[in-house]
Amino acid sequence: MSDLLQKHAGLAERHKQMLALGADAVGVRMDEILSPTRAIINGAETILAGTNNYMGLTFDEACIKAGIKAMETFGTGTTGSRIANGSYSLHQTLEAELADYLHRKHVIIFSTGYQANLGMLAGLAGPDDTIFLDADSHASIYDGCRLSGAQLVRFRHNDAADLEKRLARMGNDGGGRLVVLEGIYSMYGDRAPLAEFVDVKARHNFSLLVDEAHSLGVLGEGGRGLADEAGLEDEVDFVVGTFSKSLGAVGGYGAGNQDLFNAIRYAARAYMFSASSSPSAIATVTEAVRQLKARPELRDAIRRNSKQLFEGFKGLGLELCCDVVSPVIAVRVLDEQTAIGLWNALLTAGVYVNLAIPPGTPNASCLLRCSVSAAHSPEEIARIIEIFGDVCVPLVRAKVAADV
């Protein structure tokens, strides 16, 4: 019998090589979280620029109060799934308030964002259907698609013409067709050209699902994401999102207007066979949704901060992965070794970002990925730019000199 774990020896070796370069970027320990933008890492106060805490609500007073009250009233956990063990009124309140905020008739909440994609995709598509997914889709979308048993066709990233070619080539075999896009793509920070895809939808009959995980709260006048920004919410049939970014807790959701939408609850195993979210998480998310509604200034702050960091990095001559300002700002570097070295130097200098390397990145790119928060002060953003200047710019200069 072969050793089951032997197949992972290559992964273990890659991690060992990372440690040999002096950094464990996939095992960072935060000893204290001081605020949405500060933590103690390796004994030093560090600016957090890789949290996806877009609205900075994790320490919001009202959210914390709501969480404490829910824990005192409903206990620490639900100890079961909503199908088998019942819903708490908190879950239904959140579903109703989120549906109202999203301008959708129905919302189903899941215990994590990853499960929201598993549940929605496997709940919507089956073996007789075809899912067309963007090449740069998040792992949870790939996994949900596989779980559905549907025929899977991958189209080139953000390329509506390529999707159209594939739709035409596959033909219409009578099964359902679902196209999956993301509002903001998590690695490069670019967004789907929604109007172009909607244009294709007018010529080819399909349902459209948009994952607004990174765009909820961030894009659109109402903060409802890319479809809100593009004024095309009526063209989007299904929305998926997460509670772990702009809403500052953990969980996810699917939303739609269809009469049969709630039947997904009885079809999606990720919903049926998973314990429901804890009372404190649900209560903090409900309060966070209210904050998104009541405080448009949070959207102004994240846009202002994103612009400051984007322009600061541009000014340094860093190579960014996206030309449009978004809260996800990724700096492309030469290779994995360089990325690990720079990541470590950035942390030592006082800023935490995400190390992003293949296969988690598009086109085998190596990235120092930053995410901006509405809670960053202008001084913190300025300091992040300054540290990147000190750590990364000498390398950029050396590369330019070498190229000349």
Partner 1 sequence: MASANEEIFVELCMLLEPFNKVKATLSRKTDISSDLNIDSVSVMDFIMEIEDKYDIDIPLNMLSDIRTLDELTGVVEARITGVKA
Residue 90: helix, strand or coil by DSSP? helix
The Cα 203–Cα 200 span in angstroms is 5
H/E element, 337: helix 336-349
166 near partner 1 (CB under 8 A): yes
Q: Which is nearer to partner 1, 13 or 100 (CB)?
A: 13
Tokens of 386: 């300054």
Q: Given candidates 80, 296, 358, 378, which one binds partner 1 under the rule CB under 8 A?
A: 358
Angle made by CA atoms 290, 292, 298, in degrees to the nearest 5: 140
Select from 224, 170, 228, 235 the least CA-distant residue to 200: 235
Give the interface segment with partner 1, choosing from 97-105, 268-276, 340-348, 359-367 (CB under 8 A).
359-367
153 near partner 1 (CB under 8 A): yes
Q: Given candidates 15, 69, 103, 146, which one binds partner 1 under the rule CB under 8 A?
A: 146
Residue with tokens 């809403």: 247
Supply the minimum distance, in Å, between the C-beta of residue 165 and partner 1.
Answer: 9
How far from 94 is each of 3, 71, 106, 269, 284, CA to CA, in Å? 46, 16, 11, 21, 10
Return phi, psi of residue 335, to 5°: -155, 180
Name 328's bridge partners: 371
156 near partner 1 (CB under 8 A): yes
Supply the minimum distance, in Å, between the C-beta of residue 397 and partner 1.
Answer: 28
170 near partner 1 (CB under 8 A): yes
Q: Which is nearer to partner 1, 130 or 246 (CB)?
A: 130
Residues 2-61 interacting with partner 1 (rule: CB under 8 A): 10
Tokens of 347: 């942390």
Supply the minimum distance, in Å, between the C-beta of residue 399 and partner 1.
Answer: 21
181 near partner 1 (CB under 8 A): no
Give the interface segment with partner 1, choosing from 92-100, 153-161, 269-277, 340-348 (CB under 8 A).
153-161
How many Å separate Cα 51 from the centre of its chain? 11
Q: What is the contact surface with partner 1 in residues (CB under 8 A)?
A: 10, 130, 135, 145-146, 149-154, 156, 166, 169-170, 358-359, 362, 364
